[in-house]
Amino acid sequence: MSDAAVIDRASLDALDKKARAAIGASADEKALDEVRVAFLGKKGEVSLLMRGLGGMSPEQRQEIGPVLNGLRDNLAAAVEAKKSALEDAALDARLAQERVDVTLPVRSEPKGAIHPVSQVMDELVAIFADMGFVQAEGPDIESDWNNFTALNFPEGHPAREIHDTFFLEAEKDGHPMVLRTHTSPVQVRTMVSQKPPIRIIAPGRTYRCDWDATHTPMFHQVEGLVIDKTTHMGHLKGCLKEFVAAFFEIDGVEARFRPHFFPFTEPSAEMDVRYERVGDEVRIGQGDKWMEILGSGMVHPNVLRNCGIDPDEYQGFAFGMGVDRLAMLKYGMHDLRPFFEPDTRWLAHYGFTPTLLPSLAVGLS
Ligand code: PHE
């Protein structure tokens, strides 16, 4: 009964004041929660008073009960209001702290770029894929058979020497393995493993022992091969002319085919395009000079036979071109050596945006 005796309006008003002051003084949500527990928690001051209601006389309870309930509800509402005010303040503080000043200059970060060799390879693949060629691959380390013998380089033939071959210590079939001197062994691999009709394009690394402004010991080629029953030299010329126009992105590139010799094609031809030099710039497609850009020819019957294809039934053409050289021509680079030096300034200047994949629909470069 003693509990009930002290409950009167005055003491409730005092309690209300005290609680509101504590709520108002809470600096953060944690402090506010402590205040809430101290007054409204199970053992909080208000809750203890509520428990005391049971011991009051009915009259007293009738008077104090509603007041106490009101006090409790009002304090709970005050805690909630304070809580959301504190949350708003915390959010404002965080927003102020995490503010990004969009007017600040962009911090310079190292930028990646697609190397011109990769770019040109992608361009070549896009052009030939559009003509129905499928991409093929072969390893950099090749057997003597795939790199030479199957391609109709007779053993001991001087043509093997013109390639300045890197020979390895490892051997296969009694011959040293080689770093492939051209991508033509991919022709052999394809014909041995697939039935005609064949239409492949094979980009990759190639190696020759050579080093000056226009030759590096590692360089890149793209090989093309078409085999079926009726393909002839006219198809070769049409296909390569179309390629040149697409690659240099100019109509009416003047090109010519000049007789040449490769052991694996007969007849063989090198393709030249017209160009002129204006100051530092090389202009393709016009002018009074000819520049050789690729080797080509009708696949030699011996090569077909070596790969298990009957030359009386099938024929076709092949071509091979130097990717680095094409990149130099198209994008106006004079020296091949920086292609293979880790110079980020060179790459920043000559490199390509990674997100722009070359395609005939959108544009090659
Ligand atoms: N493999 C030849 C070279 O590297 C290029 C070539 C390929 C020529 C296919 C004719 C046919 O020079």
Q: What is the pLDDT of residue 6?
A: 56
Q: Whose CA is nearest to atom 8 of ligand 1?
A: 295
Q: Whose CA is nearest to atom 5 of ligand 1?
A: 320
Q: How far is the CA of 352 from the centre of ligand 1 (A)?
A: 28
Domain parsing of the chain, residue ranges:
3-97, 116-350
Q: Burial of 215 by CB count in 10 Å (0-12 exposed, 13-18 middle, 19+ buried)?
A: middle
* Residues contacting 115, CB < 8 A, separation 6+: 339, 347, 351
Q: How far is the CA of 170 from the centre of ligand 1 (A)?
A: 25
Q: What is the pLDDT of residue 4?
A: 43
148 in contact with ligand 1, CB cutoff 6 A: no
Taking only Cα atoms into account, the Rg of the chain, rounded to an integer number of angstroms, comes to 42
Distance of CA 37 to the CA centre of its chain: 57
* Residues contacting 243, CB < 8 A, separation 6+: 124, 127, 128, 131
297 in contact with ligand 1, CB cutoff 6 A: yes
Q: Whose CA is nearest to atom 12 of ligand 1?
A: 295
Other CB atoms within 10 Å distance of the CB of residue 267 = 15
Pick the CATH number of 116-350 from 1.10.10.10, 3.90.226.10, 3.90.650.10, 3.30.930.10: 3.30.930.10
pLDDT digit of tens for each residue in the chain (365 aa)?
A: 444 445 788 888 899 999 999 999 999 999 999 999 999 999 999 988 888 888 888 888 888 888 899 999 999 999 999 999 999 999 999 998 888 888 888 877 767 889 999 999 999 999 999 999 999 999 999 999 999 999 999 888 876 776 789 999 999 999 999 999 999 999 999 999 999 999 999 999 999 998 887 788 999 999 999 999 999 999 999 999 999 999 988 887 889 999 999 999 999 999 999 988 888 778 888 889 998 999 999 999 999 999 999 999 999 999 999 999 899 888 888 888 889 888 888 998 999 988 777 777 766 76
Q: How far is the CA of 263 from the centre of ligand 1 (A)?
A: 9
Distance of CA 16 to the CA centre of its chain: 66
Q: How far is the CA of 100 from the centre of ligand 1 (A)?
A: 58
Cα(226)–Cα(187) distance, integer angstroms:
9
Closest ligand 1 atom to residue 183 Cα is 1
Secondary structure (3-state) at 268: strand
Closest ligand 1 atom to residue 296 Cα is 10
Q: How far is the CA of 221 from the centre of ligand 1 (A)?
A: 9
Cα(175)–Cα(78) distance, integer angstroms:
93
Q: What is the pLDDT of residue 197?
A: 97
Q: What is the pLDDT of residue 71?
A: 92
182 in contact with ligand 1, CB cutoff 6 A: yes
Closest ligand 1 atom to residue 206 Cα is 4
Q: How far is the CA of 179 from the centre of ligand 1 (A)?
A: 16
165 in contact with ligand 1, CB cutoff 6 A: no
Distance of CA 283 to the CA centre of its chain: 31
The reported pTM is 0.70
Q: Show the tokens assigned to 235.
A: 């198809």
Q: What is the pLDDT of residue 281?
A: 78
Q: How far is the CA of 294 from the centre of ligand 1 (A)?
A: 7
Residue 197 preceded by cis peptide, ω within 30: yes
Q: What is the pLDDT of residue 3?
A: 46
DSSP 359: B
Closest ligand 1 atom to residue 187 Cα is 9
Q: Could you give the residue ranges of the DSSP H alpha helices within 102-199?
A: 116-130, 144-147, 185-193
163 in contact with ligand 1, CB cutoff 6 A: no
